Chains A and B, each alone.
Chain A
Amino acid sequence: MRGWVFLLALLPMLAFAQPVTRDGVTLTQSQETRAEAIGDQLRCLVCQNESIEGSSAPLAGQLRMIIRQQVVAGDSSKSIMAYMVQRYGIFVLLKPPFMRLTWLLYASPFLALAAGFALFWLGRRFRAEPAAPLSAADRARLDELLR
């Protein structure tokens, strides 16, 4: 009985210990999780709006294999991303890095906010003066017209 309890207690460990095989590479569950996290950030070059992880293109399968081989070899996620950028350029990154080509993209929300404030300020500054109150003669004429 005690043996069974012990084995049952160990059961959840299986999820971590059991090696998985994806795209021809066998790796541990935590390595697979890291590989998926990397693949999720990379664009499939063939079907350009899918991630490497989500694409069924043969090239994406090969890149998933390369990512997993490098994860098993102990390469850092950063160096695996650099490997891809070196070959395919920054377009392979689904999230573009902040650089000379992309600063306007990242700055655009702040620029839009600044433009909004500027418009608001200009609108207040140039608000038309309220019309002068009607004179007694005007009031009498208005009453006449509206009758």
Chain B
Amino acid sequence: MSPLRRRLLFGIPLALVVAGGEGFYTILRRMQNNDYDPHALPSPLVGHRPPAFTLPGLDGMQGFANTDLLAPPQPMLVNWFASWCGPCAQEAQLLTQLAQAGLEIWGIAYQDTAPNIANFLQQNGNPYTRLAADATGLTAINWGVYGVPETYVIDKTGIVRWRYAGALTPDLVESTLEPMLKQYA
């Protein structure tokens, strides 16, 4: 056996194992840093306007339709939530801070009732300028919503630019949401 062959026989499998390990380690590290989620789905709605819908208001607030989202003066959020959803309560404070900082946030209550929503908003604060009720959850299916909370960024031309499934965190707002709002301002 020539020395080169011996080296290759030893080196190639070793290199493959090292490369594989490096790959897995990268995945695990990024999962730990919250910048990679293997369960996250890309939303087919990104790059398009939301599908047609008209939803009634809730808790004395005005509902909205897809036609109300065609040309917001500034990029805005549409936040799907429910009173029965734990992570929604977690992100509520952050949403209130964002709303106080001037970000327009419209809410859609997913499969919920008026008394429960009133109670939820009283406890967790109300960041929403408008609040609609999707009691059946059928509009959510048309948006591709598969759980609450989900947050959509809508730009000034009414096009969805970003979808996040799960509770927003301060890190995420700083690393992704704020640059995106600036980009589309």
Contacts and interface: CB of A to CB of B under 8 A. Distances in A.
Interface of A: 45-46, 48, 58-59, 62-63, 66, 85-89, 91, 126, 128
A66 B138 CA distance: 9
A62 B41 contact: no
B141 interface: yes
Contacts of A62: 137-138, 141
5 contacts: A63-B141, A87-B44, A87-B142, A87-B143, A126-B2
B146 A45 contact: yes
A122 to B, nearest CB: 10
Majority DSSP secondary structure for residues of A touching B? helix
A87 B41 contact: no
Contacts of A128: 1-2
Contacts of B7: none
Contact of B146 (A59, A66, A126): A59
B182 interface: no
A127 to B, nearest CB: 10
B43 A89 contact: yes
A66 B141 contact: yes
B41 A126 contact: no
B39 A87 contact: no
Contacts of B147: 45-46, 59
A88 B137 contact: no
A135 B72 CA distance: 95
B60 interface: no
B41 A45 contact: yes
Contact of A46 (B1, B137, B144, B146): B146
A138 B39 CA distance: 69
A38 to B, nearest CB: 15
Contact of B39 (A48, A66, A86): A48
B144 A88 contact: yes
A82 B146 CA distance: 17
B42 A87 contact: no
Contact of A87 (B1, B2, B111, B141): B141
Given A66-B141, A126-B2, 20 more contacts: A45-B41, A45-B147, A46-B146, A48-B39, A58-B111, A59-B137, A62-B137, A62-B141, A86-B44, A87-B44, A87-B141, A87-B142, A88-B41, A88-B44, A88-B144, A88-B146, A89-B43, A91-B41, A91-B42, A128-B2
A89 B1 contact: no
Interface string B110-152: 0100000000000000000000000001100111101100000
Contacts of A89: 41-44, 144
Contacts of A63: 141
Interface string B39-53: 101111000000000
B5 to A, nearest CB: 6
